[in-house]
Amino acid sequence: SEEDEDDQKEPPPEPTRFGWVQGVMIRCMLNIWGVILYLRLPWITAQAGIGLTWVIIMLSTCITGITGLSTSAIATNGKVKGGGTYFLISRSLGPELGGSIGLIFAFANAVAVAMHTVGFAETVTDLMRDNGAVMVDRINDIRIIGIITVTCLLGISMAGMAWESKAQIVFFLLIMISFASYIVGTIMPASEEKQAKGFFSYRGDIFAENFVPSWRGPGGSFFGMFSIFFPSATGILAGANISGDLKNPAVAIPRGTLMAIFWTTFSYLVISATIG
């Protein structure tokens, strides 16, 4: 009978739920770390010096930290449902502001994807040209690699939350490997070839010289460097944006967001110091 057939039907599978580490902290850290860390932080440190670079990092952290604390306060003030940032803001400030801020947040994510993709494509293109691999020319090579990258990212997103979460673990491990490789490279004694390029390993006199600013070019100013660095401190709402996919959003959002801000800030401070 139809009733027996309905009883025999299997219940729909439970959606994937994430804890505070995989669902919020790693997700936020991946959104905070980006192309500016790899391509612009050394340049900012060379311009502003180690001291002012630390000031820029801490000022950016204060701004994002206040936002993170505000998000945590909203997330812990009642039951958090699906809807992400829009739901959190709408519950506190009303649907009008929630909708407008949510729309701005969506456009900001789209622009961030474009920025990181172009930076990745430029880096890959330069590595290919260094090894004699050229497809068309530099501009078109960047376009081709960028299109391939965005297509792969779109495929991961369309595959579902489970696959997207697994891909994030892989990306996170790759970043950790790059950090470890960088730290080991700074500890190893500099060869004559590296010294000819300006790499002298750790030396107190060089650290003291690079601690103060050395502005060069028309864009060499504190606020110019701050405006370039600040996008690398954003991305703290990535965990709150999937509030409906978290096991316990009221615990996961504040803990994961604040821990992500702490560890990324620590990494920025360490890298800027070792670069100098």
Q: Which pLDDT tens digits describe the chain residue by residue (276 residues)?
A: 444 444 455 555 566 677 888 888 998 999 899 888 888 898 999 898 999 999 999 999 999 999 889 888 888 877 777 677 777 788 777 888 888 888 888 888 888 889 889 999 999 998 888 888 878 888 888 999 999 999 998 888 888 777 888 888 898 999 999 999 988 888 888 777 777 777 777 878 888 888 888 888 777 888 889 999 998 888 888 888 877 778 888 888 889 999 999 999 999 999 998 886
Dihedral angle, C-alpha 71, 32, 111, 57, nearest 10 ° = 90
pLDDT score at 52: 93
User: What does DSSP assign to residue 242?
Assistant: G
pLDDT score at 206: 82
**Burial state string for 35-54 with b = 16 or more CB within 10 A and e = fewer than 16:** bbbbebbeebbbbbbbebbb
Question: What helix, strand, coil percent values describe the chain, rounded to 5?
Answer: 75, 0, 25
Q: 18: which strand partners?
A: 246
pLDDT score at 14: 62
Neighbours of 220 (CB within 10 A): 14
pLDDT score at 2: 45
- H-assigned helices in the chain: 2-8, 20, 26-32, 35-39, 41-75, 84-93, 95-130, 138-158, 161-187, 192-196, 204-210, 222-229, 249-275
pLDDT score at 63: 92
| Residue 164 and residue 157 in contact, taking contact as beta carbons nearer than 8 Å | yes
Q: Which two tokens stand for residue 50?
A: 């180690």
